[in-house]
Structure 1
Amino acid sequence: MRQASSGIAFKSGYFLKAAMIVCLALGFAAADVTASLAGQYAAIVMDAKTGKTLYSQDANGRRYPASLTKMMTLYLTFEALAKGRISKTTPVVFSANASAEPPTKLGVRAGASVSVETAILSMVTKSANDSSTALAELLGGSEEQFARMMTARARSLGMSGTVFRNANGLPNPGQFTTARDMATLGIALREHFPQYYGYFSTRSFMFGRTRINGHNRLLGRVKGVDGIKTGFTRASGFNLVTSVVDGNRSLVAVVMGGTSGASRDQQMSKLIATYLPQASSRGGSAPLVGRAANGDAAVALSKVVLPKHDAPTPDSRPAGEQEVASADDSEPVVPAATLAAQLPASHPLPAPSPAPAAAPAAEAEEPAPIVTAYAEQPAVDPVATSSVTQSGWVVQVASAPSKEGAQAILDKVAEQARAALTDASGFTASFQKSGVTYYRARFGSFDTKAAAWKACDALKKKKIQCYAVQQ
């Protein structure tokens, strides 16, 4: 299971130099990453009683939703609960497809199940990708069908700038939304399902003997915040939808494209402090977001025609960068040198501007794919202490001087060679050499030597060096 790091400290110039080598091998440029994320900034603050837009910055521009997607997955789950189609104790069986989703995830093995309530809790706290997919398959029969249901429901709620392709927000170039649409969805969740909305204020829950902590760091820190959801991929930047209720005033605010989890949270805090006093203390009797005449999302499918190709993309996209889901919504998984090279996280609060009247911007042209060079891996070292236990055969693709660097390599390989790694799961394993700790980038879950060799051969055809070894 991935662990996101909130900071990187280098104790010597050697570590910094080694990390920078890995960074260059992966083709990342720290300045480009920072600039591209900053260019994606979008935000909106809406009075949750009157619907008035108090602040808007490119609120209609297309953006990747990342894990904000799970808000719609939960909307349809709450809808099914309210209609009695499922209950909180209904078993959610994890298929092989759901179980194989990348972290962050609950880690339920294929064929096993959890209750609907546990799946909900894992999504609002841990942002579990496997639980999202499992719920989608339960409610829609397949994730593709469920994505159509999600888009149909988005249309019925007035979210005209949103298309969903999956239930968890993992990278898909055809999945996009706007800050305004996410604010609409946040308000709809509050208004339509007050009996379930309290789940979004959950800060942690027990899964067996393990305490699962949430990613939303504004809960309990900013007065009045009662949810809703965080999100991150490299292409989206750091996203956050926040609901605030303080006295007679109420807001729903959205920040998208933050440069870090800390700066995104700081930005949201500024917006709340600035605009909550301007919110109306009256009104709120009539719902702001209407329900569909027929509450069943599946019935509306015939009215929604999704694009045949994944051509539509958000307005801004990092040049030469593949979208990768973070292990933790709070911090990015990028090479250590990239993080070290970035300046302290800050993003000046843009001057308020009226909500754009124009439709979402035109489709952005897809950047040409880049061929990434991977760091040469050393021979198998006899001393190894794996940070994640994987039995059977594994395929190693590289080693790096930091866990973040190794994880970034895994992300790149997984993106460029999905077909070869269909049933494999990436993990890092630490080892020591000459008194220095390094991290292997490996893919596990291969039952046989032949399966591992076959996967490695497929990777080599894509010019990705690798070798198979038994754990």
Structure 2
Amino acid sequence: MSRILTRGLTTVMLFLALTGTTLAAPFAAIVIDARDGRVLYSDNADARLHPASLTKMMTLYLVFEAVAKGQLSLDQKVKVSSNAASEPPSHLGLRTGERISVRDLIRAAAVKSANDAATALGEAVGGSEAEFAKMMTAKAATFGMHNTNFRNANGLTQTNHYSSARDMAILGRHLLYDYPQYYNLFSRKSTVTDGKTVYNTNRRLLSSYRGADGIKTGYTNAAGYNLVASAERGNERVIAVVFGGRSSRARNAKVAELLDLGFSKAPAMVAVVKPAIGRNPGVRETDAPRPRGDVPDGILTASLKAIEDAVVPSAAASTPDPAMIRVSAYAPKTVSSPRARPGSARSLPAMQSRSIAAVVEARPPLARDSAAEAWTVQLGAFKDRTYAVNVLAKATRQGAPALQGAKGSVEKATVKGLTLYRARLSGNSPVSAEEACAHLRAMNQVCRPVSD
């Protein structure tokens, strides 16, 4: 009997070896709104699974941090250890004793997903890969990554080396917002490192999905095909994570499907709430962080209230019913950083009055040529009135000089049965509308000049 079982097992193992078939890795996925971290979809998102080369996201984060603190420089040469040089593919082919710049190692780890480069970086920051792994896990804890433990810098399968889809989404947000100057690395389809051209392991999705701009793939037999991907369309940015894909093609198709789902569910306009460190900032199903602008809450509330009071509700009709407000061209100068603690009772009334004056200023009409001012700066059309008001308030605070004397409005309209709220700044010349949009786009505000 035992001989029969042994033969059967041998036959199965031989079949698997010949066909290349492996047992499927557990599947997990999550989609979040990158702007504020809210969860839009999740499936098995907290399961502790093999992250594979998604691990390199944390390796790179700690390297970026070390550079920011002056502990490393991008042009500093790192001596490659035998430990790093012996890492299996994917690798750059580093040799023991070779010296290579931190910049080249970063490119190799981020774009090619080179294991030897990741290990060399970890040793440069932590002194040894084991110590660096402890630093990685400690940093993960400050991010609220409660289902993550690192044992190496590259993601090769190792006991007690694990993470989750949710945790990797959290890490993706931190890379995006904490070190935006390096984020473009993940969008490069190829780069030159150490004199060699290397190609992005994620280049197929980057080429095929509209708005995709990063960030990291991962694969081992134990993990399956993993991917953290981010895409941006207009004001919206979504992050999708997949663990346990059956193939790179199937993984990419699933990620594209999840990104589509994310964009379909993400609000048109959300205030960016950058990820926090050290206060349990994990992404949760019930998270709905209160948006914070670039001014204290009391000021922002007063500003929005002033605009809300100026917007006259229209009847439920298809004809837009705008209520106009005068926009000050000098709003940023009037909203200064107060010495008192933001939101304190002592300082709030004064700040409120300054803020309201900045957003809605009662000024006599300027003598302007109406024929030359038949242009509107359109900031977007939104399903939610509050978002439209928020966008208008933000644009007035950004204070493009070309908008002096322009009139801000939130207009309600019905288009094909859908109620929309348009945030607009009217009374511009063609030149001033273009100049204003150039200023606002530089501040990451969607803007389009429209002829009235």
**Do both proteins adopt the same fold according to a TM-score greater than 0.5, normalized to the shorter chain?**
yes
Is the aligned partner of 1:258 residue 2:254?
no
Query: Are residues 1:106 and 2:95 paired?
Result: no
Say whether 1:285 aligns with 2:272: yes
Choose from 84, 97, 101 the match for 2:83: 97
Q: Which protein is richer in helix relative to its size?
A: 2
Q: CA deviation at 1:275?
A: 2.0
1:73 matched residue in structure 2:
59
Contact 1:59/1:356, CA 8 A, preserved across alignment? no
- Rounded to whole Å, the distance in 1 between the matches of 2:251 and 2:58 is 22
Q: What residue in structure 1 maps to residue 68 of structure 2?
A: 82
Closer, same or farther: CA 23–114 of 1 in aligned 2, 3 Å? farther
Q: What does residue range 39-438 of structure 1 map to in structure 2 within 5 Å?
A: 40-216=26-202, 217-287=204-274, 289-292=275-278
SS at match of 1:232: strand
Counterparts of 1:27 and 1:203, CA distance in 2: 34
- Using the TM superposition, give the Cα deviation of residue 159 of structure 1 relative to its aligned residue in structure 2, in angstroms: 0.3
Shift of 1:205: 1.2
Matches within 5 A, 1:441-452: none
User: 1:103 and 1:356 mapped to 2: Cα distance?
Assistant: 40
Letter in 2 for 1:103: P
Measure how far apart 1:96 and its partner are. 0.8
Determine which of 13, 16, 33 is the counterpart of 2:22.
Answer: 33
> Does the 8 A contact of 1:50 with 1:280 survive in 2?
no
Name the % identity. 44
**Alpha-carbon distance change, 138 to 31 in structure 1, aligned in 2, over 3 angstroms:** closer
**Deviation for aligned residue 1:99:** 0.5
Counterpart CA distance in 1 for 2:12 and 2:151 is: 31
After TM superposition, list the pairs within 5 Å mapping 1:5-24 onto structure 2. Answer: 24=13
Change (3 A) 1:239 1:187: same
CA 1:98–1:209: 2 relative to 1, 3 Å: closer
What's the CA shift string for 1:193-212, capped at 9, x where partnerless? Answer: 11111111121112355321
Change (3 A) 1:184 1:24: same
Deviation at 1:283, TM superposition (A): 2.5
Residue 91 of structure 2 contacts residue 114 of structure 2 at CA under 8 Å; is this kept in 1?
yes
Residues 370-391 of structure 1, C-alpha deviations (whole Å, 9 max, x = no match): xxxxxxxxxxxxxxxxxxxxxx
SS at match of 1:218: helix
Task: Give, in whole Å, the separation in 1 of the partners of 2:11 and 2:87.
Answer: 26
The residue aligned with 1:382 is none
Q: Is the 8 A contact 1:204 1:214 kept in 2?
A: yes
Q: Equivalents in 1 of 2:67, 2:271: separation in Å? A: 25
Q: For the aligned residues, what is the CA RMSD? A: 2.3
1:57, 1:355 within 8 Å by CA — same for their partners in 2? no
Q: Does the 8 Å contact 2:16/2:22 carry over to 1?
A: no
Structure 1 position 27, deviation (Å): 5.9
Q: SS at the partner of 1:252?
A: strand
Q: What's the CA shift for 1:44?
A: 0.2
Higher RCO, Cα 8 Å, sep 6+: 1
Residues in 1 aligned to 2:141 and 2:16: alpha-carbon distance in whole angstroms: 39
The offset of 1:273, in angstroms, is 1.6
Q: Does the 8 A contact of 2:56 with 2:155 survive in 1?
A: yes
Given that 1:203 and 1:214 are in contact with CA atoms closer than 8 Å, whether structure 2 keeps it comes out as: yes
Distance 1:184 1:29 in 2: 39
Separation of aligned partners in 2, 1:23 and 1:194:
49
Distance 1:265 1:241 in 2: 10
TM-fit CA distance, 1:220 = 2.5
Q: Deviations over 1:207-258 (max 9, x none)?
A: 3553211110211321111101000011111000001111011111100100
Cα deviation for residue 191 of structure 1 reads: 1.0
TM-score by length of 1: 0.55
Equivalent position SS for 2:157:
coil
